Amino acid sequence: MRPLQKSIGQRNTKLCFLLLTSTYYELLEPYMDTLFELTTEGSDEDENVIALLAIELWSKVPKLDVAFVLVEVSVATSSLSLSFVVGFLYSNLADKVLIEDESIVMNKVQPNVDSLGGLTVVKFVVCLFKQSSQITYFSFLGDGASFPKTESWNESRDCCSWDGVTCDLLNGHVIRYLDLGYTNLRGVLTESFFLPSNSLETLKLSDNDLLKGVFPKIHRSNTLLMELDISNTGISGEIPDVFSNLQKLSYLDLSSNSFSGEIPDVFSNLQKLSYLDLSSNSFSGEIPDVFSNLQKLSYLDLSSNSFSGEIPDVFSNLKELRTLHLSNNSFIGHLPQFHFHSLEYLDLKFNSLQGPLPSSICNMRKLTLLDLSRNHFSNSIPSCLGSMSSLTVLDLRRNNFTGSLPSLCAQSTSLSTIVINGNRFEGSVPVSLLKCHSLEVLDVGNNAINDTFPAWLGTLQVLQVLILKSNKFHGPISTYQTMFCFPKLRIFDLSSNEFSGSLPAKFFRNFKAMIKLDGEETGEIKYMKPSEKSYMSYEDSVSLVIKGQDIELQRISTITTTIDLSSNHFEGVIPETLKDLSSLWLLNLSHNNLIGHIPMELGQLNTLEALDLSWNRLTGKIPQELTRMNFLAFLNVSQNHLVGPIPHGLQFNTFENDSYGGNLDLCGPPLSKQCGTSDSSHVPQPLESEQDESESYFFSGFTWESVVIGYSCGLVVGTIMWSLMFKYRKPKWFVEFFDGLMPHERTRPKKRAQRLRT
């Protein structure tokens, strides 16, 4: 007993935490006097850290009941600090006595209870003081802003309970996981994180301003680090050679920094890498062969850099590769032959790739996303694309593809997004799309498709976006013979086609998704996303005419509910049933031949932000009820036949002259014309289409044949009338005309006057 007491007494320290048990309290009784003296008379100036190994106590406690008891206390000048306590106790040793100094308030360590082999084990863990100081070094460099993660970082508390910290229950070292991301920290990454004695396996420093300066040295093959995330931290320059010593790395994220230069050979040593993200940097040059050594690589992101040259075949050798991002670079040339049997995600958008698509692209049977948008691909697309059963997203927008659309969904029903906007496709919309039961987005705009309205698409129960704009669609809008007709549709764009006929009132009643928004009750704004898989970063986007401007929405939210029927040949009146679409955000009916009054029921569209009725033949007054639209930010009723005063109130007080110009007799602010006066200058000019039609109608039969026929008829009729006039009486104008040309004797008018009186 005495050796332990002597060992304690020789130290100038103060005990601030003691682990006791009621069952074996009698074994501790001989030590209590000495322990109590340490807690009341110890010196605060001694900053040494001691470890009390209760060897004699251990020998008297059955091994089955106590694994070990280890107590380490520290004394700091300013405050007492609990550094380290680990204890494994069985259920009959669950009582704990805490002796506290009156000058401090220690936070009691809450037990973490697990079940092992039917026995309840209570674990008490407190991290090492040295490591807690290392962590809080970064927090002291912050700018003082409060972040949820660092609110728990208090040295008076166990750092193993800090958010983002995971400790080893056996020795108290911070291991496996240290997440300092999103904490607004500044400073320099130190070498201590990579020392051989450090047991860190995961280090996350993302979204901070930490890594200014040189990356620290890393001892060869000594670090246990397996995951390193220093994305979005501001580090610049070339990748240092020290990375080659992180040979246990399986996860490396260097994205969103300012790394530059070519990809170095250091990556060839990181053969355990399965995840590598170098996106959003300033890397340049061609893709090297170093990736051929990374046979375990399953995720590779090189997007948003300045890589050039052709896409090498080296990627085809990566048998485990599932995700490949090469977008937003300067790659050129044709695509290589595809031998990716495990690839699920291929993103090549925003490059300068050209030529036809190789048919080997269909060998990727597991492919779920194919994004080749914004390149220079040409020719027709392989028909085998319709047989890729796993394909979820097909984005081919803004290329030079030609020919007819293949029979998509011929053997698959998983396609949710099809975007072919901005190509030169011809023909009709393939009926095979009826099998695309998961289709949410169909964008075939800006092509040369010549077809009638595909009403049968209304049977697709989850279709939310239908864009047919800028093609050669023609004929009326008809409804399909089914009880379902676009029940989920939220974006409906038929603009710049040749559709005609009236707007069917019952057609708009089917747009249930425009009546009530998804998430309207909770106020939550959601965005369309074709997949919830973690590696699927693709988000649906769409280009719309919003408030007169062509704008591309990078994400489609639940509030984006639009109807655009502009630049067609629709006629008749505006259906009053549009009022039922209470969640409608944008309505564009401009450049048509619509007649009648503006329905006052449109004032019930409380969420409408843009209304364009310009370039039609609308008559009557602007309804005062439209002023109820509190969110209306854009209005255009110009170039119609509207009359009367412009309504006042709310949003209507913000619109300029351009919203009303070219009408028959509108008056009042913001126009300069006062009500009660007439001004012919406000008479609208005929629509360009009307003027062309009237001119073509007038001149359609005005040819040389008609001139000859008209001249002959006029000559015959004129000769007959001339003979009749001279047979009975010479016309006065004839006599007077020739009277000055021929000499004759003038008669006296008096005699003629006298004869007339008699």
- pLDDT score at 247: 87
- pLDDT score at 74: 31
Maximum average pLDDT range among 85-94, 235-244, 482-491, 595-604: 595-604
- pLDDT score at 660: 95
Average pLDDT over the chain, rounded to an integer = 72
| 2-9 and 32-41 helices, crossing angle to 10° | 0
- In whole angstroms, give the CA distance from residue 116 to residue 517: 50
Render pLDDT for 262-311 as a digit per residue (tens, 0 to 9). 999 989 989 999 999 999 999 999 999 999 999 999 999 999 999 999 99
* pLDDT > 80? residue 690: no
Cβ atoms of 89 and 122 within 8 Å: the answer is yes
What are the backbone dihedrals phi and psi of residue 32, each rounded to the nearest 5 degrees, phi first? Answer: -65, -40
368 backbone φψ class: left, alpha, beta (φ>0; ψ -120 to 50): alpha
- In whole angstroms, give the CA distance from residue 175 to residue 150: 18
Q: Which of 241, 243, 219, 221 is nearest to 230 (CA)?
A: 243
Render pLDDT for 514-562 as a digit per residue (tens, 0 to 9). 987 665 555 667 787 765 554 567 888 888 888 778 888 888 887 889 9
Region 639-658 average pLDDT: 93
Grouping H, G, I as helix, E, B as strand and the rest as coil, residue 600 is helix
Render pLDDT for 464-478 as a digit per residue (tens, 0 to 9). 999 999 999 999 998
What confidence category does residue 194 fall into, taking pLDDT thresholds of 50, 70 and 90?
low
What confidence category does residue 750 fall into, taking pLDDT thresholds of 50, 70 and 90?
very low
* 424-426/491-493 β-pairing: unpaired
* pLDDT > 50? residue 741: no
- pLDDT score at 43: 40
Region 609-625 average pLDDT: 96
The DSSP call for residue 245 is: G
Cβ atoms of 393 and 370 within 8 Å: the answer is yes
Helix ranges, 89-218 (H): 129-139
* pLDDT > 50? residue 455: yes
- Contacts of residue 268, defined as CB under 8 A and 6 or more positions apart, other chains included, come to 290, 293, 294
Region 592-601 average pLDDT: 97
Rg (CA), the chain: 42
- pLDDT score at 190: 64
Residue 659 to residues 178, 635, 656, 663, Cα–Cα distance (Å): 59, 6, 6, 10
What confidence category does residue 175 fall into, taking pLDDT thresholds of 50, 70 and 90?
low
* pLDDT > 50? residue 590: yes
- Global pTM exceeds 0.75: no
User: What proportion of the chain, given as a percentage, has pLDDT over 70?
Assistant: 59
Maximum average pLDDT range among 218-222, 695-699, 732-736: 218-222
Region 342-358 average pLDDT: 95
* 498-502/569-572 β-pairing: parallel
* pLDDT > 90? residue 608: yes
Helix ranges, 140-266 (H): none
- pLDDT score at 189: 66
Cβ atoms of 126 and 83 within 8 Å: the answer is yes
- pLDDT score at 196: 55
Residue 662 to residues 652, 655, 657, Cα–Cα distance (Å): 18, 15, 10
What confidence category does residue 151 fall into, taking pLDDT thresholds of 50, 70 and 90?
low
- In whole angstroms, give the CA distance from residue 128 to residue 162: 13
